[in-house]
Structure 1
């Protein structure tokens, strides 16, 4: 239900994303810790939460990549691709903070293994600059 509200509040965003911008996506991992109210809601109304959030994310110009639950810790781990728009990405993150269903919520931007290899190859460049100081 909360995911549908997010989609309704921000659905107009998708019309603002043009074809060129939709090519520029960023990937994020969201880690959420549900509180007791969220657990009560989910137990009373069990269902595949991935299916309930997918449409809302797609309506916003994003893509749901995965939705998992941690076995034994009760956290959810959701990966999404979102349009490369920092103010939108922050609004997407903040929109979940006020719904009263999460005790903890993190957003981590992910990078590909190829990008990490490039970053590692640049370490000597950074160290050389530090040595000049």
Structure 2
């Protein structure tokens, strides 16, 4: 089967661009434990390439995959469909695999959205002052 077609079939259908679900962006920070390092040392390679296909098959997009120089943590940014229960399931999947000592998920927002949030601070303050 065509490698480009397979992820689309898993998502249900080849939808038109206007049917693409809203996406949310997350930063995942993982601290691999000794078992994870043993696996990686025995099977060296580009970990981004190893996870990209699975993320795409779930309707997401791998945006970046970095390792912290000197701390051994991985920093992965992913765009996922706007489905809170799916996003939580995505996060929970890694908790039970026994290869991470610590794992965080942080939702990111664009700089433009942050600008809008800053503009709305006065609106929130005004509502708070009405108490």
Q: Shared topology, TM-score over 0.5?
A: yes
Deviation at 1:130, TM superposition (A): 1.2
2:4 is matched with: none
The answer to whether the 8 Å contact 1:57/1:63 transfers is yes
Q: Is 1:59 aligned to residue 57 of structure 2?
A: yes
TM score, norm. by length of structure 2: 0.87
State the superposition RMSD in angstroms: 1.9
SS at match of 2:12: helix
CA distance in 2, matches of 1:45, 1:21: 39
1:9-24 equivalences in 2 (<5 Å): 14-15=11-12, 22-24=20-22
Deviation at 1:104, TM superposition (A): 0.4
In structure 2, runs of 5+ residues without a counterpart are: 1-8
TM score, norm. by length of structure 1: 0.86
Aligned residue pairs total 123
Correspondence for 1:31 among 29, 32, 46: 29
Correspondence for 1:105 among 103, 106, 114: 103
CA distance in 1, matches of 2:106, 2:100: 17
CA distance in 2, matches of 1:103, 1:64: 22
Deviation at 1:92, TM superposition (A): 0.4
CA distance in 2, matches of 1:74, 1:17: 39
Task: Write the deviation string for residues 18-39 of structure 1: whole angstroms up to 9, x where unpaired.
Answer: 6556341100000000000000
Deviation at 1:67, TM superposition (A): 0.1
Closer, same or farther: CA 122–109 of 1 in aligned 2, 3 Å:
same
Q: Structure 1 stretches (4+) deviating beyond 6 angstroms? A: none
Deviation at 1:16, TM superposition (A): 7.6
CA distance in 2, matches of 1:64, 1:113: 20
